Amino acid sequence: MKEEDVIQTVKRENVKFIQLQFTDILGTVKSITIPSTQLKKALEEGIFFDGSSVLGYATIEESDMRLKPDPNSFVILPWTENDLKTARMVCEVYDHAGNRFEGDPRWALERITKIARKQGWICYTAPEYEFFLLLQTENGEPTTKPSDYGGYFDLMRDRGENVRKEIVNYLNAMGFEVEASHHEVAPGQHEIDLKYADAITSADRVSMMKYVTKTIAEKHGLYATFMPKPIYGVNGSGMHTHISLMTSEGKNVFYDPKGPYKLSQEALCFIGGLIRYAREICAILASTVNSYKRLVPGYEAPVYISWANLNRSAYIRVPAGREIKTRVEVRSPDPAGNPYLQFTVMLAAGLKGIEEKILPPDPIERDIYRMTPEERETMGIESLPANLGEALECMRKSKLVREALGDHLFHHFLYVKRKEWEEYSAQITDWEIRNLLPLL
């Protein structure tokens, strides 16, 4: 959409406000709201803000920053109306010198997609995002009590079901095109799957989906959380991400009818890169201390670094469907992370695999959880990092992640997440008090 088209749409639809959105380093959506009368000025000149107040952005000495709305990201928020009718636009971030700001997560994703475009490829992603709908206290505080006690694909008739349907309606109204939604394995857990889009548009939509989901849940008196593992003993929430490369003519680069499993050399090497760099990119894909409570055996979450066509215990899966539908599914990301950074490092690893011609090992269709440690060692199957501290150490040594993110995001992410890990590691948990205090 062109700038002139945005202005005309705002006038025609009688939009009163524009939310200018961007994310901090962790993926938290930030927003500045302007009246629609200021839209033309914002498109031409941008809107200035204090970058020193945004996590992972800038120091006080370099705090003057500017937001420039991206016209292609314009959508009207369908739950707003009349004098409060509001549209949203995602923004590019510029520093005080007028250059694209190196700490803007969206800019990192733009850079890696430009590398792919030089090869004639467009990167597409399609996330499946899971979340919990929880009950609240009388004061509106979230609890760990699920909104229902359904299971996988269960047909429910409760508030949670209605919330999910309303979210889907609003996402479709914004042009996001939901492919499917359903109840997930755990009580109160739901999944919504979006149709594929180019990686930048897809990341924009993930940020918006979180906002929509929380907004609609609150409207129904529930709390939506993207915490990977909020409830002990049940499945956690992931964000399985389907990735494909397409030519500008619409040909799927990953498909080769004569290749192994009907996969092209590029597809195999893309998988090889994701496997080679799996431990290095893990801190970005699973970015909280709680993420590693999900990445444990027994709950359908990937623990071991392998790939397969059918095996859902694998780190990477190649789903059924070939020709235009050929894609790679990465199963370790979770919805608590920053989608721009998550897509950046996955694409960086895959593209590096193609560049370096890294072929993957043979696919493993057995249930890896049931293998003995000796069997996994014999087959060369490594594990993902066991906790955030280990993942950060793998990331710290990674040339690939540093080049993909740039020095600013790389160092700031490590700094912020090390503080999280150190603070978490010093906590005395209820488990320790309950199990150790009576004995020691």
Active site residue 205: no
- Positive or negative, the CA dihedral 199, 205, 209, 210 is positive
Catalytic residue among 95, 191, 204, 280: 191
Catalytic residue among 148, 184, 204, 334: 184
Catalytic residue among 106, 190, 327, 331: 331
Active site residue 408: no
Nearest to 91 by CA among 47, 124, 127: 47
Helix, strand, coil fractions of the chain, as percent rounded to 5:
40, 25, 35
Alpha-carbon distance of 239 to 341, in angstroms, equals 14
Task: State the pairing for strand pair 304-308/314-317.
Answer: parallel
* 11, 14, 20, 21 alpha-carbon torsion, rounded to 10°: -120
What b/e readout covers 384-399, taking b as 16+ CB neighbours within 10 angstroms?
bbebbbbbbbbbeebe
Alpha-carbon distance of 214 to 293, in angstroms, equals 23
Active site residue 64: no
Q: Are 201 and 72 in contact (CB under 8 A)?
A: yes
Outline where DSSP puts E strands in 265-379: 304-308, 314-317, 328-330
Q: What six digits make up the tokens of 35?
A: 């009246």
Alpha-carbon distance of 251 to 253, in angstroms, equals 6
Q: Which residue has the tokens 């409830």?
A: 231
Active site residue 191: yes
Start-to-end CA distance of the chain, whole Å, equals: 66
Active site residue 312: yes
Alpha-carbon distance of 413 to 420, in angstroms, equals 11
**Residue 51 zone, left/alpha/beta (φ > 0; ψ -120 to 50; rest):** alpha
Active site residue 240: yes
DSSP, collapsed to helix, strand or coil, labels residue 137 as: coil
Catalytic residue among 312, 355, 422, 423: 312
Full 3-state SS string of 60-111 = HHHCEEEEEECHHHCEECCCCCHHHCEEEEEEEEECCCCCECCCCHHHHHHH
Alpha-carbon distance of 319 to 331, in angstroms, equals 12
Catalytic residue among 92, 102, 104, 130: 130
Largest CA distance in the chain: 72
Catalytic residue among 104, 128, 204, 334: 128
Catalytic residue among 4, 5, 45, 50: 50
Q: Are 280 and 382 in contact (CB under 8 A)?
A: no
Catalytic residue among 240, 317, 408, 412: 240
Active site residue 50: yes
Catalytic residue among 148, 256, 329, 334: 329
Task: Indicate which residues carry an active-site annotation.
Answer: 50, 128, 130, 184, 191, 240, 312, 329, 331
